[in-house]
Amino acid sequence: MTLRDLETPALILDRGKLDQNLAAMRDRVIGLGATLRPHVKTAKSVDVVRRAVRPGAGGITVSTLKEAEQFFAAGYRDILYAVGIAPNKLEHVAALRRQGCDLTVILDNLEAAAAVADKSAALGTTLPVLIEIDSDGHRAGVKPDDTRLLEIGRVLGANLRGVMTHAGGSYDCQSIREIRVYADRERAQAVLCAEKLRAAGLRCPIVSVGSTPTATYAQSLAGVTEVRVGVYMFFDLFMAGLGVCAPSDIALSVLCSVIGHQPGKHWIITDAGWMALSRDRGTAGQKVDQGYGVVCDINGEPMDDLIVSGANQEHGIVSRRDGGIIDAARYPVGTLLRVLPNHACATAAQHGAYHVVDGTTYVQWVWPRFSGW
């Protein structure tokens, strides 16, 4: 089967680029003395993740308990659920642990800590927890100088396993130098919190950090035990805009068909709207606005400075970046195009499977992916 045999839109994954991205990050993190704990939320596919870490050979990170279930069933035991735990999920967590899954959760407040402590006491077991640290003011977490850090640690007691942080603010950086600053802050503040907990007599064996930008440009991981990254597997236009990768490193694309033209508006119309590409417009805030994605030929090569400039539910509007004239005769109805995504996680989430190629138009495998919570 080749790409020309597929109904469109379809999600395309270049295996060669995937493997290169996986190897580069693995070598980088190991070279800095830490362990890589891949985040599987981007891939949501056992076939993809097996190429990053074999079942039983290392830990993974998940963003939903459904991911934890799916990957545990596939042989992954060491799993970190890296979204603040809600009390109504603790029974689900406990059930997975009873089945043999070494599932760890995170939290950043006394209420959740008390709920974990109460549940673990009622069950007569431990529910391992990492305290989430706010290292950059981007999202959730306990500030390193907040007295609640030690209070939470004491409430957790034997359930405390360590600390974690995510330098999400690195996604707003304007230069590689600025990303490096975020990376050092992420590391330093996580290590500081671990040292505070240990000085208070509390166990803190794990110091977990991670974002694809900071992992790519970190100059030191001293004191860090593990790094969590996810979008590095595929990369996307947003990461390229940050300087974290080149557009040629992007392993994911959406195959679509030309279904019409609007010559007076200099538009090509395709069958890949926001339901296929996602509504993510993250690059709009960067130096180069990539619309809803960069348009490539069937081989994945960008062409004629075309972008998806607009998107309805099932229609994509392709135009030149400068709004100039398009020779419609070059793109007759039925022409197959590929679109590089703004946000790999969001685009992949629109599809049920990856059609895997390796630098050609030949489809080698179809790898299923899942969604939901």
> For domain 3-11+251-368, which architecture applies?
Beta Barrel (2.40)
Is the pLDDT at 323 greater than 90, yes or no?
A: yes
Match 């794990």 to its residue by tokens: 206
The listed CATH number (3.40.50.720, 3.40.50.300, 3.40.50.150, 3.20.20.10) that belongs to domain 32-233: 3.20.20.10
List the one residue out of 87, 122, 128 whose CA is nearest residue 106: 128
pTM, to two decimals: 0.96
Residue ranges of the chain assigned to CATH 2.40.37.20: 3-11+251-368
Q: Please state the rounded mean pLDDT for residues 358-371.
A: 97
Residue ranges of the chain assigned to CATH 3.20.20.10: 32-233
How confident is the model over 68-87, as pLDDT tens digits? 999 999 999 999 999 999 99
Which positions ≥6 away from 250 have C-beta within 8 Å? 17, 234, 235, 236, 237, 240, 340, 341, 344
The confidence band for 198, taking pLDDT boundaries of 50, 70 and 90, is: very high
The confidence band for 138, taking pLDDT boundaries of 50, 70 and 90, is: confident
Q: Please state the rounded mean pLDDT for residues 134-153.
A: 94
How confident is the model over 180-197, as pLDDT tens digits? 999 999 999 999 999 999
Q: Could you say which DSSP state residue 147 is in? A: T
What whole-number distance in Å separates Cα of residue 142 and Cα of residue 78? 25
Match 């405390």 to its residue by tokens: 160
